[in-house]
């Protein structure tokens, strides 16, 4: 039993080391795209904070979702945020599953490059939209009489660029159309829809996206229009941006020998073969998969029978 556990642990460690080696090479080639995506996240945060200075609390607008969905109340508003956090963490963990599980279809670096591209396009549209028209926030801390409804005049220009995470994100006002929570949720669900392998999880993801939409409105974080616009905007953005991006390399066994380690600068065929062996647990040459048959106690290649001419002549 201990031998079996040790052998499996050794395989797992080899798999992790191999994945790390591959992902480091991919990171060296694609770090600019990842950095650009992270910078865009910061720009989006700065834009959401700066629009808070222009927010003017007022009467809550008439909203069909507010009539249909009962208000959760300030003490239960955390339910929406809890579900969003669970979706975010679950997706992030899934993107790192190739380091542990044998069923690998994605590369972590490449999938995050793709996700950040979707987020970048959607968030640029969101910034343009909520800067065009500022609506009175329906959230509890954005209503008239709340100290958090408006931000005091900044003491310096640099103060605007301080996002104050996570307090500034949770208690922002004015960045309404359209919902940032739905941007992330729909991007994650659509990405898993394309690259995930379990149908039940795909169905669960769409169900959670619908529940997240209802909870956002019920907790009064957004108007219904913010959620509705997010649904068709994000789906269209992902659809068109995905067509412009190069498709992810195929991680199937048939393509592994030629794709790994996926570095245009690495022309060492021996390294490719070693990576293939580590990832797929094969000790033979992946290119050599000839059918072998056994005849008269001897194993031959391609089913060809080789006779011993000397033994026949002596007979």
Annotated active-site positions, please? 181, 222, 226
Residue 216: closest CA among 121, 130, 150, 137:
137
Q: How many CB atoms within 10 Å of residue 217? A: 26
DSSP count for the chain of H helices, then E strands: 11, 2
Stretch (H or E) spanning 41: helix 2-52
The residue assigned the tokens 């219904």 is: 224
CA distance 287 to 94: 31
Compute the residue count for the chain.
315
Q: What is the dihedral of CA 172, 176, 178, 180, to 10 degrees?
A: 10
Hey, which residues does 300 pair with through a beta bridge? 293
CB 109 within 8 Å of CB 23? yes
């Amino acid at each position: 039993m201990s031998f079996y556990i040790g052998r499996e642990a050794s395989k797992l460690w080899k798999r992790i080391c191999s994945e790390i080696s591959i992902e480091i090479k991919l990171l060296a080639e694609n770090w600019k795209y990842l950095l650009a995506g992270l910078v865009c996240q910061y720009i989006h945060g700065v834009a959401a904070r700066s629009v808070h200075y222009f927010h003017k609390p007022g009467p809550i607008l008439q909203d069909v979702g507010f009539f249909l969905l009962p208000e959760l109340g300030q003490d239960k508003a955390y339910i929406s945020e809890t579900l969003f956090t669970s979706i975010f963490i679950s997706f992030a963990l899934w993107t790192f599953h190739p380091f542990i599980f044998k069923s690998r279809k994605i590369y972590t670096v490449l999938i995050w490059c793709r996700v950040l591209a979707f987020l970048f396009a959607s968030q640029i549209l969101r910034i343009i939209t909520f800067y065009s028209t500022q609506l009175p926030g329906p959230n509890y801390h954005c209503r008239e009489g709340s100290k958090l409804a408006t931000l005091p005049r900044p003491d310096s220009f640099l103060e605007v660029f301080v996002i104050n995470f996570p307090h500034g994100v949770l208690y922002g006002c004015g960045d309404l159309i359209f919902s940032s929570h739905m941007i992330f949720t729909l991007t994650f669900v659509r990405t898993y829809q394309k690259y995930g392998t379990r149908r039940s999880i795909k169905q669960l993801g769409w169900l959670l996206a619908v529940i997240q939409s209802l909870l956002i409105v019920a907790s009064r974080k957004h108007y219904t229009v913010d959620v509705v616009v997010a649904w068709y905007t994000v789906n269209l953005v992902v659809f068109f941006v995905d067509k412009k991006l190069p498709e992810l390399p195929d991680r199937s066994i048939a393509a592994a020998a030629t794709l790994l380690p996926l570095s245009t600068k690495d022309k060492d065929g021996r390294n490719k073969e070693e990576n293939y062996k580590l990832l797929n647990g094969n000790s033979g040459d992946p290119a050599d998969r000839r059918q072998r048959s056994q005849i008269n106690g001897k194993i031959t290649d391609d089913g060809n029978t080789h006779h011993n001419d000397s033994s026949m002549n002596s007979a």
